[in-house]
């Protein structure tokens, strides 16, 4: 049997290829096998060796080219061949990136691995829109939640706690469930005039920002015809956004 290889799970950052970490770029340039996601830029893929085997395993709303179990099996298969495998994920693998499932699987199979964190989309959105996710005068609490749900199940979110805590709420993968998110927060007492900023394709030339309120965000989405990937920031800090260089 071939010696065990090594798996590196690397955060590619939010889109701009220059936002990958120095370590992440070094690991990518040493890859023998590359499994990459939908949101990884073409420019970044060019940094991998020409000889590297490239496998697209992207997931996007409504379409999964590979199930998670199939991705796990590929990681195991390629590493068992004694190869240096890079699993390149958009954003930061530790923020709704299913890295926990992949680490657990690799550990159960005795495959050595390392995770290289990346810049998450929330930080990138704030940098591009020029506001802070936290602020001593407005927000001392920062909450990340996902609007993704399994199948037709209702969103399993603590709306009462989110509305009561206040601060800044950042919603990943929430465009398709925006109506449920809005309803849940309003019913639990969050004010309809709470500022909201929605960002699409953050850090890319096509980035787009929409400033609105909690009470209007669903109608704004419908009016503009917003499509994923979109990040939603809810809270007073969003009112300070200075969206320079918006895409159309």
- 62-108: per-residue pLDDT in tens? 555 789 999 999 999 999 999 999 999 999 999 999 999 999 999 99
Catalytic sites, residue numbers: 37, 59
Q: Do the beta carbons of residue 113 and residue 31 sit within 8 Å?
A: no
Residue 181 has pLDDT above 60, yes or no: yes
pLDDT at residue 160, rounded to an integer:
96
pLDDT at residue 102, rounded to an integer:
97
pLDDT at residue 66, rounded to an integer:
87
Choose between 138 and 231: higher pLDDT.
Answer: 231
pLDDT averaged over every residue in the chain: 92
pLDDT tier at 56, thresholds 50, 70, 90:
very high
Q: Model's pTM, two decimal places?
A: 0.91
pLDDT at residue 137, rounded to an integer:
85
Residues facing residue 113 across a β-bridge: 7
Alpha carbons within 13 A on the beta-carbon side of 138: 16
pLDDT tier at 159, thresholds 50, 70, 90:
very high
Residue 51 has pLDDT above 80, yes or no: yes
> For 122-148, what is the HEC assignment?
HHHHHHHHCCCCCECCCECCEEEEECC
> For the chain, what is the HEC assignment?
CCCCCEEEEEECECCCHHHCCHHHHHHHHCCCEEEECCCCCHHHHCCCCCCCEEEECCEECCEECCCHHHHHHHHHHHHHCCCEEEEEECECCCCCCCHHHHHHHHHHCCCCEEEECCCCHHHHHHHHHCCCCCECCCECCEEEEECCCCCCCCCCCCHHHHHHHCCEEEEECCCCCHHHHHHHHHHCCCCCCCEEEEEECCCCCCCEEEEEECCCHHHHHHHHCCCCCEEEEECHHHHHCCCCCCCC
Residue 182 has pLDDT above 80, yes or no: yes
pLDDT tier at 229, thresholds 50, 70, 90:
very high
Q: Would you tell me how many other CB atoms lie within 10 Å of the CB of residue 158?
A: 13
Q: Which H helix or E strand runs over 65?
A: none
pLDDT at residue 64, rounded to an integer:
56
pLDDT at residue 60, rounded to an integer:
64
Q: Do the beta carbons of residue 97 and residue 108 sit within 8 Å?
A: no
pLDDT at residue 138, rounded to an integer:
85
Q: What is the pLDDT of residues 27-47, one digit of tens each?
A: 999 999 999 999 899 999 999
**Cα distance between residue 15 and residue 42, in whole Å:** 10
């Amino acid at each position: 049997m071939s010696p065990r290889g090594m798996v590196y799970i690397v955060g590619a950052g939010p889109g701009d290829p220059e936002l990958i970490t120095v370590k992440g770029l070094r690991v990518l340039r040493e890859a023998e096998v590359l499994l990459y996601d939908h949101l990884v830029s073409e420019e970044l893929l060019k940094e991998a060796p020409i000889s590297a085997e490239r496998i697209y395993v992207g997931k996007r709303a409504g379409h999964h080219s590979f199930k998670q179990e199939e991705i796990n099996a590929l990681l195991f298969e390629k590493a068992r061949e004694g190869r240096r495998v890079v699993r390149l994920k958009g954003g930061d693998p530790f923020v709704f990136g299913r890295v926990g499932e992949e680490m657990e699987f690799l550990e159960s199979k005795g495959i050595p691995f390392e995770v290289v964190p990346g810049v998450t989309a929330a930080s990138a959105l704030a940098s591009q829109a020029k506001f802070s996710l936290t602020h001593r005068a407005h927000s001392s609490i920062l909450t990340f939640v996902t609007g993704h749900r399994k199948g037709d199940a209702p969103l399993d979110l603590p709306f009462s706690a989110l509305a009561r805590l206040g601060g800044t709420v950042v919603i990943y993968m929430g465009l398709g469930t925006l109506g449920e998110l809005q309803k849940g927060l309003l019913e639990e007492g969050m004010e309809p005039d709470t500022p909201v900023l929605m960002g699409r394709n953050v850090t890319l030339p096509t980035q787009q920002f929409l400033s609105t309120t909690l009470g209007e965000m669903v109608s704004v989405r419908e009016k503009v015809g917003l499509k994923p990937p979109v990040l939603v920031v809810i809270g007073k800090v969003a009112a300070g956004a200075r969206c320079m260089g918006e895409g159309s």
